[in-house]
Amino acid sequence: MDFLNTQEKIQLQKLLAKTNSLRTVDGRTNFLTLCGLEKFCSSVLLEGSSEDFSTRIYNKLSRDYIDNGQKLALAVFLEHLIEIDSNLSQEDKQFTEYVVNKISQQSNSENFSDAASNFINARSEGIYFDTQGNITGDVIDITQLKWVNSYVKKTSIKEVAGQVVQREIEKIRSVYIEPLNYSDVKRILEENNLVILWGNLYFGKRATAIHLILSLLSSEDIFEVDPTLKDLTKFQGENHQGYIIDQLDPESAR
């Protein structure tokens, strides 16, 4: 399970590659042992460049759980990195804390959701917009990552309440099928920077909104606007950034 998007993985691997305590084979062995992850000393090749090791250790620890499957090994590794490595810059420390929190949030979501009901994947019968056409797509459950770290908050605005998790984005990318009128809605969004989809519950509005944003932006970071926002006209988003708001109150858009 990938908890991080591509950009985050690259940034984390670069951070690990420049970490002093992971520069040598002895340093890598000692660090893993100190973290209680000594079993990985035999399953991960410790020799090689810092760049190669950071890739190998990420690939291994991001897939293995410890403590009877309760905690991802990568989270334990990074928690110790924050505590032990005094050479981490403040920015690197904040990013590492953000990664740990993101892993924790998504792991908790996995633990409390039945695998069979994580994604509904039902075909919808129509999402109506304006007065013409309809959009059909996949119904995806709502999983929101709440921000608890300043690394993300420093680029956010007060009306933003969370972030669409990577597993939901990956699922939409893999199963969503563009319907007949999709290009028309995409054009509306591209020209006006706003599109409102409405219809019955579980008809795929959220999945369609996310897919539309992904089709227009290179970033996979999609933010959730606080659904209690009273006046949507006062919302000031950042340039080249995607936002969705679920269960929009029609009065807020007037």
Confidence band (pLDDT; 50, 70, 90) for 218?
A: confident
Q: Does the pLDDT value for residue 176 go beyond 70? A: yes
**pTM value?**
0.44
The string of pLDDT tens digits covering residues 1-55 is: 567 888 888 889 999 999 888 989 999 999 999 888 998 988 889 999 999 999 9
Residue pair 131/22 in contact (Cβ under 8 Å)? The answer is: no
Contact criterion met (CB below 8 Å) for 139 and 207 = yes
Give me the count of residues in the chain: 254
d(CA 7, CA 3): 12
The predicted pLDDT at position 146 comes to 37
Burial class (CB in 10 A: 0-12, 13-18, 19+), 249: middle
Average pLDDT over residues 190-195: 86
User: What is residue 43's DSSP assignment?
Assistant: T
Query: What is the pLDDT confidence band of residue 107, given thresholds at 50, 70 and 90?
Result: low
Residue 25: predicted pLDDT: 92
pLDDT of residue 113: 37
222-225 and 242-244 as β-strands: parallel, antiparallel, unpaired? parallel
Query: Higher model confidence: residue 190 or residue 201?
Result: 190
Q: Which residue, among 185, 205, 196, has the nearest Cα to 140 in the 3D structure?
A: 205
Packed helices 90-111 and 6-17: angle between N→C axes, nearest 10 degrees: 130
Banded pLDDT at 111 (limits 50, 70, 90)? very low
Q: Residue 116: its pLDDT value, please? A: 25
Rg of the chain in Å (alpha carbons): 21
With b meaning 16 or more CB within 10 Å and e meaning fewer, what string describes 72-84?
bbbbbbbbbbeee
Does 240 score more than 60 pLDDT? yes
* 24: Cβ contacts below 8 Å, ≥ 6 apart: none
Q: Is 8 left (phi over 0), alpha (psi -120 to 50) or beta?
A: alpha
Q: Residue with structure tokens 């075909």? A: 123
What beta strand segments (E) does the chain contain?
A: 65-66, 71-72, 119-123, 127-129, 132-135, 138-140, 144-145, 160-164, 222-225, 242-244
Q: Residue 53: what pLDDT?
A: 92
| Contact status, residue 145 vs residue 162, Cβ threshold 8 Å | yes
pLDDT at 91: 87
Average of per-residue pLDDT values in the chain: 74
pLDDT reading at 172 higher than 50: yes
- pLDDT (0 to 100) of residue 151: 36
